[in-house]
Every structure is written in structure tokens, then in C-alpha cells.
Amino acid sequence: MKTINAGFFNHVAAIGLALITLSAGASAATVTFNTNAPGTSYASGGLSLASSGGAAATLTFAPQVDSITGTPSNVNYGIFTLLCNTCTTQANAGGAFFSAFTFNLIITDVTDSATGQFVGTSTGGTVFSDVSPLSITWVPLVLGPGTTNALTGNFGSSTFRISGPTSIVAPNSGIIPGQTTVEGVVDTADEAVPEPASLALLGAGLLFIGVLSRKK
């Protein structure tokens, strides 16, 4: 039987030690993004939409400024706030009517120097203090990776998904009354680099094999 020389096991141990060291410095990928580009607005212009009939009401959008997030992670693309101070309950029929509208949400991927656009549409409806039929449907549902749905630049391995539709809560509903978060997920398509825990486990195994064999 052919004997494997000690040098081979020395190399195995060295590789194991290197992987353990690499795992200590490894970390999940991060992506910086924002939604406050000038193109983020209603199709009619601006970040505030007024009701077109009934009580006076507004649906405003607060965009997300530069946000650094690990991947994959759930993210907040911005917040819609529905305000109607004079609306009454549906039972009292004192509501505000919103015509159909379109909202353009620009994602700026700062990390990859790229931008893309989610287009949201709503059929509108009558809002009461306790009821809101407003719902925004988004297309596309995914931006990236590469140049997919990019307006400028290249998303590289970054993927931006949007959860849809976004149902706008009534003025007196929600954790913060009238506020609805536009939810999504940021991820990276690059799966070539193992997670730190996997690297450490593999390294420890190789190191153990090398040391044990060398002792024998």
C-alpha cells in the first residue's frame, strides 16, 4: 500500500488553518440603496396626492434615504401616510375620494451605481377614517441582477424585490395611524463565497485531519 508522506498532511493542516483565518474576516455582503431620487413621485408630480372629491385628504410618500443593509434582508423602501382630518367612519358616510393614480418608485443602488423603477398603480376609491380601499400594485416585482429592469448602470449581483400589492391603511389604523410601509427584500445573487460559519467548520475539519495524521 502506498504511504502518504507527512508533507501532504502538513498541507492539509495549513489549508485548514487558512480557512479558519478567512472565516474570521468574512462577512455577509452589504448593499447601500435609497429611494429619494427625483424620479420618485406620483405620475401627476410630487410626493403628495390630494383627494379628488369628498373630504379633504392627502396620501404622501416619505422616501428612504441612503440605507446600508446586509443581504439578504427585509427592507423599507419608504412610507405612505394617509391623512384625512375630517373623514368620519364608513357608517357615517363621510369619506374622501381618490381617483386612480400611478406612483413611480426609483431604486438607486449606490453599491452598484445603478437605478431601476417600480411602477405602482391604484384604482383609487373612497377612504373613511376607519376604512381604506386603496391598494397599490407594483410592476415589475424584481430589479436586477445584471441590467434587468435597470434605467441606468448595472445592478451586478444585487436583487431588489418589492412586496405587492401595498395596501394603504385607513387614517386611524396602523402602528402609527395612517402609515403604510412599502416593504421589500434586498439580496445578492453571488453565492460563491461560503458563510463564515461554513468556512470555520471546514477549516477546523481539515486542521484536525492534518494534525491527527501527523501525530500517527
Is it the case that residue 142 has pLDDT exceeding 70?
yes
Q: How many CA atoms lie within 13 A of 91 on its CB side?
A: 1
| 202-214 mean pLDDT | 51
Long-range contacts for 139-144 (Cβ within 8 Å, ≥24 apart)? Answer: 143/107, 143/109, 143/116, 143/117, 143/118, 144/109, 144/112, 144/114, 144/116, 144/189
| pLDDT, averaged across the chain | 85
Q: State in Å, rounded, how far the first CA of the chain is from the last one.
A: 16
Where do the domains of the chain lie?
A: 6-12+15-25+197-215, 28-192
Helices marked H in the chain — which ranges? 6-25, 196-215
Round to whole Å and give the CA distance between 111 and 91.
50
Beta-strand ranges (E) seen in 44-129 are: 48-50, 53-54, 58-63, 67-70, 73-83, 96-98, 101-109, 114-122, 125-127
Q: Are 111 and 33 in contact (CB under 8 A)?
A: yes
- Tens digits of residue pLDDT in 24-40: 443 459 999 999 999 99
- Tens digits of residue pLDDT in 149-188: 999 999 999 999 999 899 999 999 999 999 999 999 999 9
Q: Are 49 and 42 in contact (CB under 8 A)?
A: yes
- Tens digits of residue pLDDT in 102-118: 999 999 999 999 999 99
Sign of the alpha-carbon dihedral angle for 142, 148, 151, 154: positive
pLDDT at 158: 96
Residue in the block written with cell 480557512 = 19
- Tens digits of residue pLDDT in 54-91: 999 999 999 999 999 999 999 999 999 999 999 999 99
